[in-house]
Amino acid sequence: MCELLGLCFNKPIAPSISFIGFRQRGEVNRHGWGVAFYPDRSAQVIKEPINAGASELSNFLKDYKYMSSRILIAHVRHATVGSHTSMNTHPFQRELGGKDYVFAHNGNLIGNFRKELALGQYRPVGETDSEHAFCYLLERLRKRNLAVWGLADFQFLEKELREINRYGIFNCLLSDGEHLFAYRGFDEKRTLYLLNRVPPYGRVRLLDQDFSIDLGKRKDPKTFGFIVATRPLTDEAWIPFPSGRLLVFRNGKTVYSDTKMPKSVRDSPVG
Amino acid sequence: MCELLGLCFNKPIAPSISFIGFRQRGEVNRHGWGVAFYPDRSAQVIKEPINAGASELSNFLKDYKYMSSRILIAHVRHATVGSHTSMNTHPFQRELGGKDYVFAHNGNLIGNFRKELALGQYRPVGETDSEHAFCYLLERLRKRNLAVWGLADFQFLEKELREINRYGIFNCLLSDGEHLFAYRGFDEKRTLYLLNRVPPYGRVRLLDQDFSIDLGKRKDPKTFGFIVATRPLTDEAWIPFPSGRLLVFRNGKTVYSDTKMPKSVRDSPVG
C-alpha cells in the first residue's frame, strides 16, 4: 500500500522529511516517492520512480531548505496499477483557473471507472487509476466555475470523492496551494490520521513508518497547523478520520470538518 | 536577458549541466534557473527563484544521473517582468491531450498582448508575459484538436509564434515530450544557435556563457542529436537560426526546417 503525508500550516515551514520506509522495512518494496509544495502560488513537484530510501535526491532534499511552504503533500508508492515510471508516480499536478492543483492517492480503483468517471479537458499522461481520478475531479471542479471556495463547494467535492470511492479503495490528499483537502474513504483498513501541532515542537519520536518529519525548532510561537498521515508518525494522540469524510484545512486551521471529530479539531485550536 | 538551452536526442542521455553564468560574470544578476526533462512521457520540471550559480540544488543535480531524457529544456532568468518568485521562473508546464508540455522564453512582450492574445482553458499562475504566451499557445493547439503532429501543424504553430512575436522580443523553446520546438523571433540581437552532435564527443570547450554542458563519453556511436542555445556554448561551428522561424526536432533529427538552413541541418545528418 501507499503512504500519504500532508501538512497545512499558517506560515511557511521548511520541514525535513525523510523517506525511511524501505530502510526500516526491507521486506516491503517501494516503487516511487514524490513531494509537492508551494514556494508561492505555484506548485513544485519532485518525484522519482525509485525506492525513496535509496534515493540520493530525497536524501539531499531532506537537508536542503528548499521546501518552504504552508502546504506540502508527500507520497510513497507501492505500485498496484501501472509500471514503475515517473508518469505513474504521485503527486500529480494540473492547473485550473490559474491555480496549481496537486493530488496523491492511497488505494486502488477497480471496475469500469475509466468509462463511468468521464474525463473532459484533463487527460492522464500516465496509466494509473489515481491520475484518472484526479483528472475527473478537476473536470468536475472546472465545470463548477469555482472562484472562491465555500461550504457548498466543499460539500460538492466530498460528494465527488465519494462517487470515486464507489470504485474501490480511495484515500487522497488534494491541494490548490491555499487549501489542503484530505479524504478518507470507506475502507475500514485504509486509515488516515490527523495531528494538530502547536509550538513548541522539535524532532518527533518515530514509530515504524515510511516517513519521518522534523518541523525544526520553531522560534515563532504563532506558527501552528495540521499534519495528516496514513498512520500516526509519532506516539502522540493522533486522531483518526471518520470513514467517507472530507476535511479541509487552510492557514493551519480546519475550515470544513465533521461532527464526529473532536471539538479541538472542529474549532481548529491554536497554541 | 535570459538564456535558453534545448536538447533533442534519439536516445535518452544524462547530461551534466552547470549553471555557471553568475560565477563567471559577477556583474550580471540572475534571478532564477529551471530545467525540464522527460523521464518518460511525463515531464519533470525543477526550478528555483534564486541565482543558479549559487544554488546547491542545481549543483547537486549536475552530478546526479537523474535527468535521463531525449529532450531537455533549461533556462536562466534575468527578470524583466514579474517578481523573483518560483511562479515566475521558467520552464512552465501544462498538460494538453495527455501530453506534458513545457515552455521557456527569452525576451519580453509589451503592449496590449494580455488582452489581444486571448486565453481560454489555460490560465497563468504567475505574472509573466512568458506564461501568458504559453497559455495562449496551448489554447490555440487545444482548439486544433491535435492528435499527431504533421507539417500543417508545424506551420500553424509557426504562424502563432509570429503572432506573439508582434508584441515584442520572443525566442522560445517548447516541447510535448516527443518534439523540441525552437523559435527564433525577429529581433536581430536576440540570437538562437544550433549544433548537431554526433559521436564521439566528450566535455565541450567552454565559451563565456551561462551554461556548461557535458554529454559524457558516449560509448554508443548511434546516439546523436541537436543542441539549441541562445549563444554558442563551444568553439564549434554553431549555426545561427534565421529570424522569425520555427525549427522542430524529433528523435535527434530535424522534422521541420528552413531553406535558409544548411543542408546538413535540413537533412538532419547522423554520425
In tens, the pLDDT along A202-242 reads: 555 555 556 677 776 655 678 899 999 998 888 788 999 99
For residue A64, list chain B residues with Cβ-Cβ distance below 8 A.
Answer: 56-57, 60
CA dist A144 and B148 (Å) reads 31
Q: Which residues contact B24 (CB under 8 A, 6 or more apart)?
A: B53, B208, B209
Are B123 and A98 a contacting pair at CB < 8 A?
yes
C-beta neighbour count of B35 within 10 angstroms: 24
Active site residue A2: yes
ipTM passes above 0.95: no
Are B86 and A48 a contacting pair at CB < 8 A?
no
The overall longest dimension of chain B from CA atoms, in Å, is: 51
In tens, the pLDDT along A165-211 reads: 999 999 999 999 999 999 999 999 999 999 998 776 655 555 555 66
Q: What is the DSSP letter of B241?
A: P
Is residue A73 classed as helix, strand or coil in its secondary structure?
strand
For residue A60, list chain B residues with Cβ-Cβ distance below 8 A.
Answer: 57, 60, 64
Is residue A228 within 8 A of residue A250, CB to CB? The reply is no
Are B64 and A49 a contacting pair at CB < 8 A?
no
**pLDDT tens, residue order, chain B (271 aa):** 578 999 999 999 888 777 665 444 433 556 889 999 999 999 999 999 988 778 889 889 888 877 889 999 999 877 666 788 999 999 999 999 999 999 999 999 999 999 999 999 999 999 999 999 999 999 999 999 988 999 999 999 999 999 999 999 999 999 999 999 999 999 999 999 999 987 766 555 555 556 667 776 655 678 899 999 998 888 788 999 999 999 999 999 999 998 888 887 887 644 3
Q: Which residues contact B65 (CB under 8 A, 6 or more apart)?
A: B14
C-beta neighbour count of B56 within 10 angstroms: 14
pLDDT of residue B14: 84
C-beta neighbour count of B206 within 10 angstroms: 15
What is the dotted CATH code of the domain comprising A3-266? 3.60.20.10
pTM score: 0.93
As given in the structure block, the three cell numbers for residue B224 are: 546523436
Chain A closest CA to B193's CA: distance in Å?
30
> What is the residue-wise DSSP string for B79-125?
-SSS-SSGGGSSPEEEEETTEEEEEEEEEEE-SSHHHHS---S---S
Q: Give the residue among B167, B177, B178, B142 at the shortest CA–CA distance from B157.
A: B142
User: Interface of chain A against chain B, CB under 8 Å?
Assistant: 39-42, 44-49, 56-57, 60, 64, 66, 85-87, 93-95, 97-100, 121-126, 142
Q: Which residues contact B144 (CB under 8 A, 6 or more apart)?
A: B153, B156
Is residue B158 within 8 A of residue B102, CB to CB? The reply is no
pLDDT of residue A268: 62
Q: Which residues contact B80 (CB under 8 A, 6 or more apart)?
A: B108
For residue B170, what are the CA distances in angstroms to A158, B102, B104, B173, B243?
44, 16, 10, 10, 11
CA dist B21 and B151 (Å) reads 37
